[in-house]
């Protein structure tokens, strides 16, 4: 009987959402139980697991390739290739996605996290749209004309051509990726397993059949993207070794569990897929599968057409679970000429433009039907053996994890008492319903402040977006910054005390540099037309995987020159450090909140990003450099920003381009989602870097929140 439990499909679609909420508590325990269930004897030592994974991948790949070699007819090999490509699609399209949330505002200066981020940046093809490993696989599906349900990722969960069990591995990985602090070891262990295996065994068969249909070096997660890069499998091994050396036996156990589970799950998936492909060598298998897929809607009709004394509707109702009877009856009917599809009414008059089943079957469906008819012997088969009713073999479906995710948390949790506590709670990616609700209110209030009096003349962005895009405007603003710098040349620089105070009070903001873009580390957004530049900006802020280029670490070095040694950014002590003024947390908390909703607040984030990247270029950074240099402090922080944020090829240019890409694809017609409405949201986001703080703006913020309480008690004191 066909697998009817679609828990893994639901998990896959739910966890693919970049704003997905995955609760703690029961779900975490259920995921761990699922991992252990697949490793009943407990994990082995890592070296042994590495040997097993590599050996299994080689043997299993050979088994799939032999299956193709044994298939003599061209159409049969085509069926194998298409089924194999679809069977691997849920995992291959999400390649690397399990690493997407392992970096967070609170650990962005951690050397291990930077190594993980470098590994992930390679997976998503940092700096280029449509360049991720998943995108390379999407190209393969497009070549095979199988991509209609592949974008966005959640859409794939509705593709009935893919067996339920194919979603189990990626669904659990995606769920764990949304709880990175709970499953870091397991995720890194699974990552090492997947990179050790490399190209999935079934795909080695596809590569053999279609060597130039895809960029196989990109599809293969074990392969380096460039000749000069180290192999990702070696980097993954080094990351695991560093984690275990740092955190000890508990981390090692988690890594081994993740690796062991992934290897066992890959074996289950490969076995089920191999069985499916073997069965599909019989054209009756594909025909049975097609009848199952079409039976439900077909049973609504055909009550007046009889086949061997039963209505076709009744046959179709049975076919939802076992199509063998229907296939046997069809093979004996006048609709089919065994061995002669070209003469069979089932694929001629009935589906012609004047036939009663016109466009019911797709061209691929008709190929399946013709292949089945041509395979039928001229002499009728006995009724009890004609056709096939076997369904797809599938691995476990993680139903317990799905139930726990549907159930959610036992309680909503507690909202932050103030912005300092919020800052600390937002150092990690995970949240609670109460914290999420608080974040949404905070953003809504902040944006209401930003919109207040927006058209009063103080807004640099033009009232209407022009077809020429923002690059000309960007150059004008850069010229203005340069002119202001020259005009202020004679203005005295701030005192040493003021420079130190400003540097200290800006620390809660600067030590989470790029956090407004944290949502764009999400797998699909990181390589999208708009998001790829935002991910690259985030990647640059964190130093491209190198501690010496990491902006928070560079900033801390300047603070130490000023004799200021702050607690770790993610610690409660940092948020409560008495040297900070309360209002110094307002803007950072806005960054941390809005960065969690990259889809909900996409226009606002794009506007904020443009304002942030342009704010210091050509003027403010140059003046800050003069002040730092005068008092003997290192200027590297402002120097590096003045170059990477440049308006020609740097972050400011990318920010403008991202806005232009969004606006260019929107309709002119008025209303929600229109270009005009979206542009107003971009403008509000731009202004949100420095919103008004007067009484009217504060009233607007209170009206925008459900509680009407002052989320910004310090507004107006700066």
Q: What is the pLDDT of residue 12?
A: 97
Instruction: Determine the distance from the C-alpha atom of residue 467 to the mean position of all C-alpha atoms in its chain, rounded to a whole number.
Output: 31
Q: What is the pLDDT of residue 707?
A: 53
The interaxial angle of helices 531-541 and 602-614, nearest 10 deg, is 50
The string of DSSP letters for 219-260 reads HSTTS-SSTTSPPHHHHHHHHHHHHHHHH-HHHHHHHHHHHH
Q: What is the pLDDT of residue 385?
A: 38
> Does residue 392 have a pLDDT over 80?
no
Q: What is the pLDDT of residue 379?
A: 64
Q: Which of 175-184, 262-271, 400-409 has the lowest mean pLDDT?
A: 400-409
At 2, is the pLDDT very low, low, confident or very high (cuts 50, 70, 90)?
A: very low
What does the pLDDT look like over 562-620, one tens digit per residue?
999 999 999 999 999 999 999 999 999 999 999 999 999 999 999 999 999 999 888 78
Q: What is the pLDDT of residue 611?
A: 96
> Does residue 695 have a pLDDT over 80?
yes
Q: What is the pLDDT of residue 262?
A: 97
At 263, is the pLDDT very low, low, confident or very high (cuts 50, 70, 90)?
A: very high
> Does residue 227 have a pLDDT over 80?
yes
Q: What is the pLDDT of residue 706?
A: 64
Provide CB contacts within 8 A for 64, sequence distance 6+.
84, 201, 202, 204, 205, 270, 274, 277
**How many other C-beta atoms lie within 10 A of the C-beta of residue 40?**
7
> Does residue 699 have a pLDDT over 70?
yes
Q: What is the pLDDT of residue 350?
A: 75
| Mean pLDDT of the region 21-35 | 94
At 691, is the pLDDT very low, low, confident or very high (cuts 50, 70, 90)?
A: very high
At 397, is the pLDDT very low, low, confident or very high (cuts 50, 70, 90)?
A: low
Residue 492 DSSP class = P
At 656, is the pLDDT very low, low, confident or very high (cuts 50, 70, 90)?
A: very high
Q: What is the pLDDT of residue 394?
A: 52
CA dihedral 89, 95, 99, 101 (to 10 degrees): -60
Q: What is the pLDDT of residue 14?
A: 96
> Does residue 714 have a pLDDT over 70?
no
What does the pLDDT look like over 91-145, one tens digit per residue?
999 999 999 999 999 999 999 999 999 999 999 999 999 999 999 999 999 999 9
Q: Which of 351-355, 510-514, 684-688 has the lowest mean pLDDT?
A: 351-355
Whole-number Å distance between alpha carbons of 106 and 427: 4
> Does residue 197 have a pLDDT over 50?
yes
Q: What is the pLDDT of residue 718?
A: 30
Query: Strand 310-311 vs strand 306-307: parallel, antiparallel, or unpaired?
Result: antiparallel
Whole-number Å distance between alpha carbons of 341 and 367: 10
Whether the Cβ atoms of residue 246 and residue 240 lie closer than 8 Å to each other: no
Whether the Cβ atoms of residue 473 and residue 549 lie closer than 8 Å to each other: no
Q: Which of 257-261, 276-280, 617-621 has the lowest mean pLDDT?
A: 617-621
Whole-number Å distance between alpha carbons of 427 and 549: 21
> Does residue 16 have a pLDDT over 70?
yes
Q: What is the pLDDT of residue 709?
A: 47
């Amino acid at each position: 009987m066909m697998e009817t439990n679609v828990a893994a499909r639901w998990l896959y679609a739910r966890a693919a959402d970049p704003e997905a909420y995955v609760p703690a508590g029961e779900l975490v325990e259920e995921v761990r139980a699922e991992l252990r269930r697949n490793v009943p004897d407990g994990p082995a030592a890592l070296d042994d697991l590495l040997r097993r994974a590599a050996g299994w991948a080689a043997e299993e790949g050979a088994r799939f390739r032999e299956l193709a070699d044994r298939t003599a007819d061209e159409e049969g090999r085509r069926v194998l290739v298409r089924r194999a490509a679809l069977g691997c699609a849920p995992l291959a399209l999400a390649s690397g996605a399990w690493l997407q949330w392992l970096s967070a505002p609170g650990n962005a200066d951690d050397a291990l996290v930077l190594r993980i981020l470098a590994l992930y940046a390679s997976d998503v093809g940092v700096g280029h749209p449509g360049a991720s490993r998943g995108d390379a696989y999407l190209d393969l599906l497009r070549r095979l004309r199988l991509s209609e349900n592949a974008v966005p990722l959640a859409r794939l969960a509705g593709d009935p051509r893919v067996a339920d069990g194919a979603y189990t591995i990626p669904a659990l990985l995606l769920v764990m990726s949304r709880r990175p602090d709970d499953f870091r070891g397991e995720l890194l262990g699974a990552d090492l397993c997947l990179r050790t295996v490399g190209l999935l065994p079934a795909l080695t068969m596809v590569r053999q059949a279609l060597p130039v249909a895809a960029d196989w070096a990109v599809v293969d997660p074990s392969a380096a993207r460039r000749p000069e890069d180290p192999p990702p499998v070696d980097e993954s091994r080094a990351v695991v070794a560093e984690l275990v050396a740092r955190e000890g036996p508990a981390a090692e156990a988690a890594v081994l569990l993740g690796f062991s589970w992934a290897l066992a799950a890959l074996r289950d998936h490969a076995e089920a897929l191999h069985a499916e492909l073997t069965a599909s060598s019989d054209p009756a298998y594909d025909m049975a599968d097609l009848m199952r897929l079409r039976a439900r809607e077909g049973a609504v009709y055909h009550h007046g057409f009889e086949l061997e004394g039963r209505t076709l509707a009744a046959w179709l109702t049975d076919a939802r679970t076992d199509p063998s009877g229907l296939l046997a009856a069809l093979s004996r009917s006048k609709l089919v000429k065994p061995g002669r599809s070209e003469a069979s009414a089932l694929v001629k008059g009935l589906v012609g433009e004047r036939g009663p089943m016109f466009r019911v079957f797709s061209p691929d469906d008709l190929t399946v039907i013709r292949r089945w008819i041509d395979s039928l012997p001229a002499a009728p088969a006995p009724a009890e053996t004609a056709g096939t009713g076997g369904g797809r073999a599938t691995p476990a479906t993680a139903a317990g994890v799905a139930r726990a995710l549907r159930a959610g948390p036992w309680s909503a949790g507690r909202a932050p008492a103030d912005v300092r506590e919020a800052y600390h709670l937002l150092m990690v990616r995970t949240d609670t319903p109460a914290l999420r609700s608080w974040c949404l209110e905070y953003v809504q209030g902040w944006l209401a402040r930003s919109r207040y009096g927006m058209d009063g003349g103080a807004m640099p962005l033009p009232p209407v977006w022009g077809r020429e895009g923002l690059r000309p405007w960007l150059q004008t603003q850069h010229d203005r910054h340069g002119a202001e710098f020259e005009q202020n040349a004679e203005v005295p620089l701030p005192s040493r005390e003021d420079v130190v105070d400003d540097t200290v009070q800006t620390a809660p903001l600067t030590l989470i540099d790029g956090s407004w873009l944290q949502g764009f580390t999400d797998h699909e957004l990181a390589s999208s037309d708009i998001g790829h530049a935002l991910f690259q900006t985030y990647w640059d802020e964190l130093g491209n995987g190198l501690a010496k280029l990491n902006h928070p670490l560079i900033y801390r070095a300047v603070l130490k020159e000023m004799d200021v040694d702050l607690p770790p950014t993610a610690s409660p002590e940092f948020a409560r450090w008495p040297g900070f003024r309360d209002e110094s947390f307002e803007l950072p908390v806005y960054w941390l909140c809005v960065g969690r909703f990259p889809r909900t607040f996409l226009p606002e984030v794009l506007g904020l990003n443009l304002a942030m990247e342009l704010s210091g270029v050509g003027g403010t950074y140059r003046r800050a450099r003069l002040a730092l240099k005068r008092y003997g402090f290192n200027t590297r922080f402002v120097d590096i920003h003045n170059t990477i944020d440049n308006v020609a090829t740097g972050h400011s240019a990318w920010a403008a381009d991202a806005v232009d890409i969004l606006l260019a694809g929107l309709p002119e017609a008025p209303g929600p989602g229109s270009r005009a409405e979206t542009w107003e949201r971009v403008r509000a986001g731009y202004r949100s870097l420095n919103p008004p703080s007067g009484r009217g703006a504060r009233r607007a913020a209170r009206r925008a929140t459900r509680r009407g309480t002052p989320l910004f008690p310090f507004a107006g004191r700066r």
